[in-house]
Structure 1
Amino acid sequence: MTQPIELSPRFPDAAPFLGRFLPRAKAAFWGLSASFCDLHAFLRHLFDTQWYGYLHATLDGQDAFVLIFEGRAVAAASGQNTADAALADLLNLFLAGAPLGAYVLERDIAHALSGVGSRAWKFNLTEDFTGLHVDATGASFYVSGAVLARLPVRLPYEGAFPAPLRPNTLILPKSLAGWAHQNYVLTLRGKDSLNPITTIHQQFRQQFGHGATAVLRAIAEGLTPAEYSLRSDAALHELEAVMSELVKGGFVRARS
């Protein structure tokens, strides 16, 4: 039987649970700054390369942590927030001048961490449990019921952070990605693009592909890009490019 890997915490005194349970790992990128790095382009690079790891930004005593799984932000925490709002906190810190570090994790370690939120749950470990289990002896990283690694970070009580089978992608809030939360409607040209009997239907599919067609259908159903992103697990930066083309091509318009 393989012995669990012994990990060391990078931020053992961090207030957010996610930060506290992040292990020391090799820095893939260090000291990234808004003065020379476009964070959205960087996140797109992580997505394109199916990257696993975590991001950390700190400025004036404020910290934000974001877990990346398959190149997608799936968990985040800061001093005040978790999830989507904490992802926004990291972006705001970065834009305010905080240096950004990106640290590589193995896929299974990242998966086990993906369920860490604002509280630990009472949970009976099952034979196929994946996630983090913590008690007075430390934290154990489980994947499919097996202990993959241990971390000497404790809680005064026993609790678990179950990981989802497929972690959901975090979405930036409206204040930072207003276009994604905007309601759109199809124009006549957009409606024709979804009608198989029209000439423009085939032209649209050839030019934009299946992905853009799926976005058009979602808009026809009344979904915002953010809602479609959550439902389809599509990366928001990819949808931004698609929406830009659809608006520019006269297929959709913002609902007034």
Structure 2
Amino acid sequence: MTGARGTLGPLSGGAWVRLLSQAGLSGTLLLSKGERATLFVLGEGRVQGWDVGAPYGLGEVGGRFAFWPHAERPQPSLEPRYPKAAGPLRALPALLEEALLSTAELNVRALFARLAKEAFSGALVFERPHASGVVVVSRGRPAAAALEARAGLLYGPAALRPLLEGEAAALSLYPLPEPLCSSFLALVLAFEAGGAGGAPPEAATGTLVGETGYAFMRGGEVYLELLTPPALESGFVPACEAPPSLPLPNDPTGWEGRRYALTLRGRDALDPMTELSMRFRSEFGRTGQRALEGFRRAAAAEAVAEALGLEAGAFRTLLERLEAEGFIRRLEVR
């Protein structure tokens, strides 16, 4: 059995734990709902839990789960999601994963605006044929970035601009509960600084880097192991309790002259016979529908705004939302 993710629906967390145990499965289980998350290790009739942030109540329904089968181990354990990475991506504790539209069909700046509104904490991963990178977001704000390319590893602002403005990239979002997000953020900053510290102090919260991988600790106790040869020297990295702020590169000017066209999803949204069309009209109204109609044939943003009689600020908000949700795509100037 390979790993699995999903929602519990009407099933409680406790019922799901019992089902896995009765099936004789061993492995690591994550149960989460909102900001609450608990990791369990199952094996030979044993079930033990470690809270990651606020505890998840086993009597709750409607949560999410992720399960990774493995031989019995003393703590919850994961294999790396990006085992070939040479930098911080290999240290990412990938629990819950959400695949997004690629940057060819999604406005990344609008995505960051959404993450800020949701006070999201976790990692946004960019994957290209010859480069990949990660932006760590803490409570809705970008805090660190790393880019791995043929030329080597880049960090901070030097990594952020190529990630946002380079060629099309696949995007994945990894929500991380506290303190796991602050621990991974600290790891990225440690990579940038060139190494980890010494031995962990008593009741430490952070990450112990050793020969077998990364051991995430809270109050001196290991609650999750990421089993992979580490790409960082051995030592302890305390969790980052005061996340830095990494501003997005200055927004390029001249957006009014950019040309856009409908995506397949945008064309479906204009087809009155589709369910998507009904949802679109409900969420975007007549103005949104008229905007899509304006992009039936590739058109400049300014021309569509003038046709709708909208001032620039109001139309730009609509434009970024349409792009972020994959209804239109920006055309490259050749």
How is 1:1-256 mapped onto 2 (pairs within 5 angstroms)?
A: 2=49, 4-16=75-87, 18-35=88-105, 37-79=106-148, 80-93=153-166, 96-116=167-187, 117=189, 118=191, 119-155=194-230, 157-173=233-249, 176=250
Distance 1:33 1:56 in 2: 11
RMSD of aligned C-alpha atoms?
Answer: 2.5
Distance 1:34 1:41 in 2: 13
Contact 2:102/2:168, CA 8 A, preserved across alignment? no
Alignment TM-score, normalising by the size of structure 1: 0.60
CA, structure 1 residues 167+120, in 2 after alignment: closer, same or farther (shift >3 Å)?
same
Query: Structure 2 unaligned runs (5+)?
Result: 1-47, 51-74, 254-316, 318-334
Report which of the two structures shows the higher radius of gyration computed on alpha carbons.
2
Identity across matched positions, percent: 26
Distance 2:156 2:218 in 1: 22
2:181 partner amino acid: A
The number of residues matched between the two structures is 174
Query: Structure 1 unaligned runs (5+)?
Result: 180-240, 242-256
Alignment TM-score, normalising by the size of structure 2: 0.47
Distance 1:86 1:146 in 2: 33
2:221 partner amino acid: A
2:229 partner amino acid: R
Between Structure 1 and Structure 2, the one with more helix by share is 1
CA, structure 1 residues 148+44, in 2 after alignment: closer, same or farther (shift >3 Å)?
same
Give per-residue Cα distances to partners, 1:85-117, cap 9 Å, x unaligned: 222232123xx2112221222222111111113
Between Structure 1 and Structure 2, the one with more strand by share is 2
Shift of 1:33: 2.6
Structure with the larger RCO, 1 or 2 (CA within 8 Å, 6+ apart): 1
Contact 1:57/1:63, CA 8 A, preserved across alignment? yes
Distance 2:245 2:196 in 1: 22
Contact 1:120/1:160, CA 8 A, preserved across alignment? no
Distance 1:6 1:139 in 2: 10
Distance 2:184 2:176 in 1: 10
